[in-house]
């Protein structure tokens, strides 16, 4: 049987070359988790909707300082990341790009 490394960056687990997902069993299980499993369930969506309704256009993004405007992609962010506290609740709106960039930096810092 020919082996290769799991498709997830940083994972060195060997999997069969013909593995359907190209991921090791651990990362296959992670891939199947739903957004509710990740802490983004009904309550999270309700908090985001509430904050979107009450947003004053031009309010600065807490991550980059640029104004948040109607029509921009905004996400509910956890001031204390879920990776550090699984009970953390979303409590602020941020630009989607800022949130994605911050999540990548945090994930990288936690892996190393």
Dump pLDDT digits (tens) for 26-68: 877 776 667 776 667 888 889 999 999 999 999 999 999 999 9
Looking at the domain assignment, is residue 37 inside a domain?
A: no
Indicate if 23 and 47 belong to the same structural domain.
Answer: no
Cα–Cα distance measured from residue 75 to residue 44, given in angstroms and rounded to the nearest whole number = 10
pLDDT, the chain, mean: 81
Could you give the number of structural domains in the chain? Answer: 2
For residue 38, give every residue at least 6 positions away whose Cβ sits within 8 Å of its Cβ, in sequence order, or none: 82
Instruction: Please tell me the pTM assigned to this model.
Output: 0.60
Indicate if 98 and 49 belong to the same structural domain.
Answer: yes
Is residue 80 predicted with pLDDT exceeding 60?
Answer: yes
Q: How many CB atoms lie within 10 A of CB 43?
A: 12
Indicate if 64 and 25 belong to the same structural domain.
Answer: no
Which range of residues forms the domain containing residue 23? Answer: 1-32
* pLDDT value at residue 105: 54
Indicate if 20 and 54 belong to the same structural domain.
Answer: no
Indicate if 13 and 46 belong to the same structural domain.
Answer: no
């Amino acid at each position: 049987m020919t082996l290769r490394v799991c498709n997830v960056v940083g994972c060195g687990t060997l999997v069969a070359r013909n593995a359907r997902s190209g991921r090791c069993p651990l990362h296959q299980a992670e891939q199947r988790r739903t957004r509710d499993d990740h802490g983004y369930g009904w309550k999270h969506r309700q908090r985001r909707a509430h904050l979107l309704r009450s947003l004053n256009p031009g309010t600065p993004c807490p991550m980059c300082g640029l104004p948040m405007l109607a029509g921009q992609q905004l996400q509910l962010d956890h001031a204390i990341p879920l990776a550090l506290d699984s009970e953390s609740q979303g409590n602020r709106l941020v630009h989607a790009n800022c949130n994605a960039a911050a999540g990548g930096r945090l994930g990288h810092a936690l892996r190393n």
